[in-house]
Amino acid sequence: MSALRDGLSLATTFGLTGWLLGLAVVPERLGASRRGAISLALAVPATVLVSTPGLVTGHLGTPAFGASVMVLSLVTTFRLGLRPASLSRLEPLRERAGAVVRYVPSRFDRRAIVPAVLVLAVTTTAWLSVVAAHVEVSRSSGLPRGTTVWFYWDLVTETVAADSLPDTRLEWGGTRPFPVEYAVTTLHGAATAKLAGGADLELLERYRFFMVLLGLVAAYALWRRWLPAWWAWTAGLLTIAAPQIANRFVSYRPEAFGLLLVLWSGWLLNEGLERRSARWTALAAILGACALMAHAEVWLISVPLWAAILASRAVPLERIRRAVRGSSAEIPDADTVREADTADAPPAGSLVRTMAMATAAFVVCVGALSVVSDGGERVSHLAGFDEPTEDAATDVVPFPDIDPTWTLHAALYAPANLGKPPPDVCRFFIDRKARYPYRGVNMQSLGSQIGLALLLLLMVAALSGRWGPAGAQGALAIGLLGLGIVLLAGLVCAAYGQYVPERAGPQRILPYYVLALAGLLATVGWLLSRWASTAGERVRPGSRTTVYVIASGLLSAALLVWLTPVTGGRSASLQNLAPVGPSLSETAYRAYQWMDEELPEDAVILANGYTEGSISAVSGRVGWLDGRAPYLESPAWRTEATRATLTARRFFLAPAANLAGLPREVTHVLVATTGAVEIGGSRFPFARSELFNAAGLRFLRAFDGKKLLLFEVVRGAAAGSGG
């Protein structure tokens, strides 16, 4: 029953709301595939829209959500019109449903072979290339992989409990501002959890799988504007299966959520430009603004994506081709790329005017949402424009001559680097992160990967030049997208003088160049298939279609087997997908559950490691070193976190000598005694014997054969308790 309710909740927030809003905003007749795509694209802003009344009134529950959905349904009905004839706009859906029924004949029907084979091929390739790997990396315990997932899902849990977005939350031992920069992601998750009856781990995992499947659909829709259906599907599989993209979907992360919105915004922009429709481009701009409030870093990818789409539309490719070939004849092969129902929406204005309106709408929507949501303050943190405060004065900042974000990073993860200058960020991360664009491709430098992309572009140009303009616009957009992402990563790396915002370029943005690589590979495969079909037609007239189908199947199969986790089993999937870093172990999870039941509600727990939000999420207690890493928060908070981390490290190395320096807010001490127990983040070294003999520490409980120890801090105690 829980699975059914979770499924209905996910279908509502990822589908039904978008379908209603899509009919209200775009009531004209659309083909079934486009109606389905726009429904999925608008589902997130629609869910946010219908959740807003409950959010404002503090009643973010099923009644308020249902009432808002009813209002949206009435608006949709009004937009469609009350006359029965207006329902003809839904005729494509009825026709498609009837076609499905007709393809289930009472006796064998040859017409059913082709659709059945295509459905089988799509399902099989999706399972082998993407879905199976995500199933295999799921943990048998039901606990999610990674550590930051606990922080992000706890935001959803707290929103569900408060029936609204809270103003503050407890982390790092005190009250901190609630992170509004993930508002869209958090609100959508909370609305889904409310409908499902709670934000449990089962819903978390199902939510993640929904995002994987929707990522495939969104990538397919984007590539479908430039490629025929099968090769667009291949490009979608290559996109979501790439390790740099797949890692975002291994656990619940706002970055994956934001990527879905970015892909859908690109699809809507392409549709709007094709139709010369300001309405469609405005919807694309709204999706872009939602992506900003889902995850700001991945939203940056929408800038080169939009620029590439606009630029490729602006270049008169057909005119250039005619000038080069000296012919005015057009080769009518564009119908192999674009779906037939494009003609349902005739152009309503000039392309230049539509492009200008799209750009203006994007800037206005993003700017307005940034201002309303305090985005300006977040940007000032990112840019390092904060003014020093008394708490962050130079005399109390550890290592004042060193970049403070690097100092905090070293304190949390690599104390040997304390006091040392940060590395050359761009070179360091390019060497490490850009080496493996795919599991089957080991490239030692970004330059070699750019060289491969240029080679693919040359092949596309050569093939497109001979066989007409089809795909040339897509190839240009894909090439510009890859170039734009590389330039954006370099710009971010060069624009900032601090380690953490600087590394966002090569570590977080640069890996998305694989989007362009996936598109180029599929484009080359498609053009090679066309070349093979033309050659086959010369050898044997009438064999063009057969040769094309066979060549497409063989080439796409070769790409998928080579580049995706089709083979290799669990170990290959883990290598391809699992995020770098620890995950919360079952022992720690059970210990946190025990704390939830047994410890006082005002307990403050100091663990021998930075736990990234897992203590608060599971135990409901405050962790002294628990929550988001405040690299880009206020200088005062960042300095406080650095001092707290260094104090904790000194305490665990010599508990007896440093107990007096422990903050008075700390009531309990948690120690993972072995690397086999992950507490949800980094782990600090400790002196085991001193813990049991230190005055002021009373041993409370051991978990899993003393792999995890819990002590109570007793102020003014004369001696510790043995254990």
- Cα–Cα distance measured from residue 42 to residue 277, given in angstroms and rounded to the nearest whole number: 17
pLDDT at residue 107, as a whole number: 46
Range from 270-284, 436-450, 459-473 that averages highest in pLDDT: 270-284
- Taking residues 706-717, report their average pLDDT: 84
pLDDT band for position 446 (cuts 50, 70, 90): low
pLDDT at residue 391, as a whole number: 40
- Cα–Cα distance measured from residue 469 to residue 568, given in angstroms and rounded to the nearest whole number: 39
C-beta separation of 139 from 145 below 8 A = yes
- Taking residues 530-558, report their average pLDDT: 85
Distance of CA 162 to the CA centre of its chain: 25
pLDDT at residue 662, as a whole number: 86
Nearest to 169 by CA among 613, 667, 691, 682: 613
Distance of CA 366 to the CA centre of its chain: 19
Percent of the chain with pLDDT over 90: 27
Q: How far is CA 179 from CA 33, 123, 185, 629, 664, in A?
A: 37, 38, 11, 12, 27
DSSP-derived letter for residue 696 is T
> Could you tell me which residues come within 8 angstroms of residue 447 by beta carbon, excluding any fewer than 6 positions away?
none
How many helices (H) and strands (E) would you count in the chain?
Answer: 33, 7
- Taking residues 481-505, report their average pLDDT: 86
349-396 tens-digit pLDDT: 576 666 676 677 667 666 655 555 554 444 444 434 344 333 434 345
pLDDT at residue 399, as a whole number: 73
What is the value of pTM for the model shown?
0.86
pLDDT band for position 55 (cuts 50, 70, 90): confident
pLDDT at residue 448, as a whole number: 66
pLDDT band for position 434 (cuts 50, 70, 90): low
Instruction: Specify the pairing of strand 708-713 against strand 697-703.
Output: antiparallel
pLDDT at residue 146, as a whole number: 83
227-241 tens-digit pLDDT: 899 999 999 999 998
C-beta separation of 691 from 600 below 8 A = no
More confident residue, 286 or 343: 286
Instruction: Specify the pairing of strand 668-672 against strand 604-607.
Output: parallel
- Taking residues 241-253, report their average pLDDT: 86
Q: How far is CA 77 from CA 20, 24, 38, in A?
A: 9, 8, 18
599-627 tens-digit pLDDT: 999 999 999 999 989 999 999 999 999 99
Instruction: Specify the pairing of strand 174-177 against strand 622-623.
Output: unpaired
* pLDDT reading at 99 higher than 70: no
What average pLDDT is seen over the chain?
A: 79
Structure tokens given for 62:
């099923």
- Cα–Cα distance measured from residue 188 to residue 272, given in angstroms and rounded to the nearest whole number: 26
pLDDT at residue 97, as a whole number: 54
- Cα–Cα distance measured from residue 176 to residue 281, given in angstroms and rounded to the nearest whole number: 38
- Cα–Cα distance measured from residue 490 to residue 473, given in angstroms and rounded to the nearest whole number: 26
pLDDT at residue 317, as a whole number: 66
More confident residue, 178 or 716: 178
* pLDDT reading at 98 higher than 80: no
Nearest to 267 by CA among 291, 287, 297: 287
311-361 tens-digit pLDDT: 888 877 666 666 555 544 443 343 444 444 444 444 545 766 666 766 776
